[in-house]
Structure 1
Amino acid sequence: MVKKIIKMPDIGEGVAEVEIIEWHVKTGDVIAEDQLLAAVMTDKATVEVPSPVAGTVLAIGAEAGTVMAVGAMLAEIEVEGTEAGEELPHQTIAATQFTPDAPQGEPEKSAPVSVLAPVVMPASSPASLKIAQNKPVASPAVRALARELAIDLAQIRGSGPAGRITRDDLDKFVKSGGSAHGSHYARRDGVEVIKVSGLRRKIAERMARACREVAHFSYVEEVDVTDLELLRASLNNSHAASRGKLTVLPFIVRALVVALRDFPQMNALYDEEAQILTRHEAAHIGVATQTPNGLMVPVLHHAEAMDLWAAAAEIVRLAGAAREGTARREELTGSTITITSLGELGGLVTAPVINQPEVAIIGINRIAVRPQWQDNQFVPRRMMNLSSSFDHRMIDGYEAAAFIRRIKQLLEVPATLFIEV
């Protein structure tokens, strides 16, 4: 037998450490090559690490929720020895093991150990679907939602590749009555202690840092979107079947792209340590998206080059990938300004937190019919508030008001969204 140390691989883009989100194996498991070992998280993206060898798991490097450095031991696996004359695919070294409770002295020598670094698989990779027998196959996001709903994934038959359980499978199971909820009036005495880890911990750290370091101020403006909604309805009636249905969000994206031409200071990143403000010509628009694990911000790269339907399709694709936990790192980074919306829950006014190091965030509140004074009478109009926040270190109040007023003008006369000047 030969022992192999599986190292935490380098995920790239300067990532020095990751957090163990979930183990797919435990000590004593017999595993196959390419079988998933663990799901790990970088700043925002979740990736899955498969085993480069088949064998028996002797040890795992850390418990779930632990932050691990790249290059640290992820797992130790015992594999069958090689035949005489056959070379090992990796250099074999003599590993040294220490027993924490043993007296200090000459270390005990173990069997030869080969050090390997597996290749990270995206959550949607076919190789990542080869997991332990009888263990449900699902993304970390689906597993987290199942835990929240107190549902055993073993009860659900997955419709995805290799039996992978998707969010749709889980939703259908819940709608069919499969849940663990009892009487509404039953006495409840349980207490759940939840370790804050993974994406939720990252969100907490980023929000606290943004509120601590950024001089936030918010500005709210009311927008009459009656004509915009008429245009949207007309376009959907004519083109939804062939080009896809449009929500209001692609129009907001287009208005933002046009307004940024006159207000480039809003499309910028501020490096506080270097005291440098970097303005971008490209509009890389983050779209805040609620997922089962928490808020994520997939990025609509080069939104300035997209028409309404291209933007709509990309928004849907990115939001789906974020919710399923399959979004790639490059799809979750690189934004220059962010849009956030609570959809139908959007309320009247919000005060969004800036997605640092950006200097502005545009908040969309829900559309509602409100009476407006027009031609000496009140008339029903479809109204929407924009609740936006700015970094007062870089953006003055007058600039913010003028910027939002420009977006308001574009949305209230939607034909101007498509006029090139």
Structure 2
Amino acid sequence: MALFTFKLPDIGEGIAQAEIVGWHIKVGDRVEEDQPIADMMTDKATVEMESPVAGTVVRLAGEPGDQVSIGAMLVEIETAGEGAAAAPAPSVETVEAETPGEAEIAVPVQAEPVVQAPAPQEAKSAAKPEPIVEPAGHAAPVLASPAVRARARELGIDLALVKPNGDHVRHTDLDAYLLYGAGQGYRPAGRAAPRADEQVKVIGMRRRIAENMAASKRHIPHFTYVEEIDVTALEEARTQLNDHRGDRPKLTMLPLLIVAICKTLPDFPMLNARYDDDEAGVVTRHGAVHLGMATQTDAGLMVPVIRDAQDKNVWQLATEIRRLADAARSGKATSAELSGSTLTLTSLGPLGGIATTPVINRPEVAIIGPNRVIERPMFVTNKMGSKEIVAAKLMNLSISCDHRVVDGWDAASFVQAVRKLLETPVLLFEG
């Protein structure tokens, strides 16, 4: 028997260390060559590490949330060969995307805790019950993110038995399975099902999001401006466009809003900007609009970027929104697709609420949030000059700005200019 030391390879992104997001193995497990063993997060992406050899796991370099330096021991595996060996650089596959925003976060190097294999006489008592694993022979693989798979393993849930509300299993589907069983039906109204307290370690993507949001609120003096917009005519125009869309994607409100934003920004360059407040103390006002789209995924909030949004029409924008959202949610978005935004748009869709106060995606200086469209009675002046009440579709539009760079007058003027375009949609298609 020989002891094989698998060292964390240089993933090729200029990083010095990576965080353990989750293990696919434990001490004492038998692993095969190319079997996934761990998910490691860098500042750029989360990568899935694979074992270069077959054998038995002897020790692991820490717990989820710990940092491992490049070149340090990640896993030791007992193999059938002779002599100790060091691991060659394995191939890695990107499975999740970077955190929203591009704020550099320095993580201190930590000592590498080691999980020792139990002595033979202790193995039986130290062993944990084996989780239920997915049975072989499924007609189709179960689609789920690494975080969902890790949680299912911890809970002993066979993912094949979980009914997804969509094309892949999410945390909410696991919750439904735990509450209602394999059928995942609905209980009659009555006493809420009891749940035990749960401690969730903040690691991986969730920790990056927490750090970025804290840095944004700590460094940026936010202010938020909200305006009500009559989108009755815009909704009528959107319906007509969808009626004649052919094989093009169905239009939501977002592509039309993006066109209005891009047509207005040249008069408000202070909003399409990034503020380097760490060292240079320089605000860069960008000519092109690289629009970040805040997207909710199983792993947390990601911000894929529509490059040169000002050059795209509503149909191209609708196609790009769908493509980037699908890439982010499936973990296939690249680092280039998740970086370099100059302004961010965040929408809660059908959950839009009355008003929002979104947090700026640092180092940008503004973020825009459309809210839910609500039909309400509204006073209007008719052709005779008298007032009458009509049914109108109204939407609040929020914008949060960095008060170090953007004045309240600028933000209000920008939103009023966007409002004019949205309330007169024919202007969106001029020029």
Under TM normalisation by the shorter chain, which class is it? 0.7 to 0.9
Deviation string for 1:97-135 (max 9, x for gaps)? xxxxxxxxxxxxxx53224332221229xxxxxxx9859
Residue of structure 1 equivalent to 2:335: 329
Distance 1:281 1:2, change over 3 A: farther
Q: Give the distance between the partners of 2:293 and 2:192, measured in 1 at CA.
A: 41
How far 1:356 moved relative to its partner?
0.4
Residue of structure 2 equivalent to 1:194: 200
Amino acid at match of 1:22: G
Q: 8 Å contact 1:144–1:293 — kept in the other structure?
A: no
Residue of structure 2 equivalent to 1:96: none
Amino acid at match of 2:425: P
Q: Kindly indicate whether residue 189 of structure 2 is the aligned counterpart of residue 212 of structure 1.
A: no
Residue of structure 2 equivalent to 1:291: 297
Amino acid at match of 1:322: A
Q: Kindly indicate whether residue 253 of structure 2 is the aligned counterpart of residue 248 of structure 1.
A: yes
Q: Secondary structure at the match of 1:322?
A: helix
Distance 1:377 1:404, change over 3 A: same
How far 1:143 moved relative to its partner?
3.0
Q: 8 Å contact 1:5–1:116 — kept in the other structure?
A: no
Alignment of 1:74-113 (within 5 A): 74-81=74-81, 111-113=83-85
Residue of structure 1 equivalent to 2:319: 313
Q: Give the distance between the partners of 1:341 and 1:150, measured in 2 at CA.
A: 35
Amino acid at match of 1:63: E
Amino acid at match of 1:271: D
Residue of structure 2 equivalent to 1:39: 39
Alignment of 1:78-157 (within 5 A): 78-81=78-81, 111-123=83-95, 138-143=144-149, 152-156=158-162
Q: 8 Å contact 1:4–1:116 — kept in the other structure?
A: no
Q: Kindly indicate whether residue 268 of structure 2 is the aligned counterpart of residue 263 of structure 1.
A: yes
Distance 1:343 1:29, change over 3 A: same
How far 1:38 moved relative to its partner?
1.1
Amino acid at match of 1:404: V
Q: 8 Å contact 2:52–2:87 — kept in the other structure?
A: no
Q: Secondary structure at the match of 2:346?
A: strand
Q: Give the distance between the partners of 1:265 and 1:185, measured in 2 at CA.
A: 53
Q: Secondary structure at the match of 2:292?
A: strand
Residue of structure 1 equivalent to 2:50: 50
Q: Which runs of 5+ in 1 are unaligned?
A: 83-110, 125-131, 159-164
Q: 8 Å contact 1:141–1:323 — kept in the other structure?
A: no
Q: Give the distance between the partners of 1:168 and 1:188, measured in 2 at CA.
A: 21
User: Mean alpha-carbon deviation: is it higher for 216-225 or for 259-268?
Assistant: 259-268
How far 1:171 moved relative to its partner?
5.9
Distance 1:81 1:191, change over 3 A: same
Q: 8 Å contact 2:134–2:159 — kept in the other structure?
A: no
Distance 1:169 1:399, change over 3 A: closer
Deviation string for 1:360-400 (max 9, x for gaps)? 00011100112222121121111111111000111111111
How far 1:242 moved relative to its partner?
0.8
Q: Give the distance between the partners of 1:197 and 1:149, measured in 2 at CA.
A: 18
Alignment of 1:314-393 (within 5 A): 314-375=320-381, 376-393=387-404
Q: Secondary structure at the match of 2:363?
A: coil
User: Mean alpha-carbon deviation: is it higher for 229-238 or for 297-306?
Assistant: 297-306
Distance 1:343 1:186, change over 3 A: closer
Q: 8 Å contact 2:162–2:169 — kept in the other structure?
A: no
Amino acid at match of 1:260: L
User: Mean alpha-carbon deviation: is it higher for 361-370 or for 148-157?
Assistant: 148-157
Q: Give the distance between the partners of 1:137 and 1:234, measured in 2 at CA.
A: 37
Q: Give the distance between the partners of 1:367 and 1:186, measured in 2 at CA.
A: 32
Amino acid at match of 2:90: P
How far 1:339 moved relative to its partner?
0.5
Q: 8 Å contact 2:148–2:170 — kept in the other structure?
A: no
Amino acid at match of 1:314: E
Q: 8 Å contact 1:2–1:114 — kept in the other structure?
A: no
Amino acid at match of 2:88: L
Amino acid at match of 1:61: A
Q: Give the distance between the partners of 2:368 and 2:143, measured in 1 at CA.
A: 37
Q: Give the distance between the partners of 1:343 and 1:137, measured in 2 at CA.
A: 24
Q: Kindly indicate whether residue 428 of structure 2 is the aligned counterpart of residue 417 of structure 1.
A: yes
How far 1:229 moved relative to its partner?
0.8
How far 1:168 moved relative to its partner?
8.5
Residue of structure 2 equivalent to 1:22: 22
How far 1:302 moved relative to its partner?
2.2
Distance 1:147 1:345, change over 3 A: farther
Q: 8 Å contact 1:257–1:304 — kept in the other structure?
A: yes
Distance 1:245 1:351, change over 3 A: same
Q: Give the distance between the partners of 1:31 and 1:197, measured in 2 at CA.
A: 25
Q: Secondary structure at the match of 1:399?
A: helix
How far 1:210 moved relative to its partner?
0.8
Distance 1:352 1:9, change over 3 A: same
Q: Give the distance between the partners of 2:78 and 2:221, measured in 1 at CA.
A: 54
RMSD: 3.3
Residue of structure 2 equivalent to 1:101: none
User: Mean alpha-carbon deviation: is it higher for 283-292 or for 174-183?
Assistant: 174-183
Residue of structure 2 equivalent to 1:397: 408
Residue of structure 1 equivalent to 2:8: 8
Amino acid at match of 1:415: V
Residue of structure 1 equivalent to 2:168: 166
Q: Give the distance between the partners of 2:349 and 2:21, measured in 1 at CA.
A: 29
Distance 1:226 1:195, change over 3 A: same
Identity of aligned residues (%): 49
Distance 1:283 1:150, change over 3 A: farther
Amino acid at match of 1:253: I
Amino acid at match of 1:411: L
Amino acid at match of 2:259: R
Q: Give the distance between the partners of 2:172 and 2:357, measured in 1 at CA.
A: 33
Q: 8 Å contact 1:6–1:77 — kept in the other structure?
A: yes
Q: Secondary structure at the match of 1:416?
A: helix
User: Mean alpha-carbon deviation: is it higher for 56-65 or for 359-368?
Assistant: 56-65
